[in-house]
């Protein structure tokens, strides 16, 4: 019987251990809400933040070249009806 239900027994034991660990954590947890330390939380550590200005600018995504260009990634696009693709829109 143990061989047949080994995984069920192992799952039940694991679930029991998780419940015991959660109860122990709640029982021995210190009061975390009393000493918040301000907006950054306890410990008084702060995070360095840099700022950047955002501005609009013209962007051209058309390429007119003579030769061979190889991209890092490629995709094969075909048409089922006429095998003629007139436009590809990238978003």
pLDDT, tens digit, for every residue of 28-81?
A: 876 555 555 555 556 666 778 888 888 888 877 776 767 776 777 877 776 677
pTM tops 0.75, yes or no: no
More confident residue, 23 or 81: 23
Rounded to whole angstroms, the Cα distance separating 66 from 68 reads: 7
Which of 2-11, 12-21, 59-68 ranks highest by mean pLDDT?
12-21
pLDDT of residue 46: 72
Report the C-alpha dihedral over residues 77, 82, 86, 90, rounded to 10 degrees.
-30
Distance, CA of 20 to CA of 27 (rounded, Å): 10
What is the per-residue pLDDT for 42? 60
């Amino acid at each position: 019987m143990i061989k047949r239900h080994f995984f069920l027994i192992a799952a039940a034991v694991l679930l029991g251990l998780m419940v015991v660990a959660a109860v122990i954590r709640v029982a021995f947890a210190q009061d975390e809400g009393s000493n918040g330390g301000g907006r950054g939380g306890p410990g008084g550590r702060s995070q360095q933040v840099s700022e950047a200005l955002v501005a609009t600018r013209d962007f051209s995504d058309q390429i007119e070249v003579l030769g061979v260009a190889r991209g890092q990634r490629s995709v094969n696009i075909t048409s089922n009806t006429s095998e003629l693709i007139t436009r590809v829109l990238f978003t």
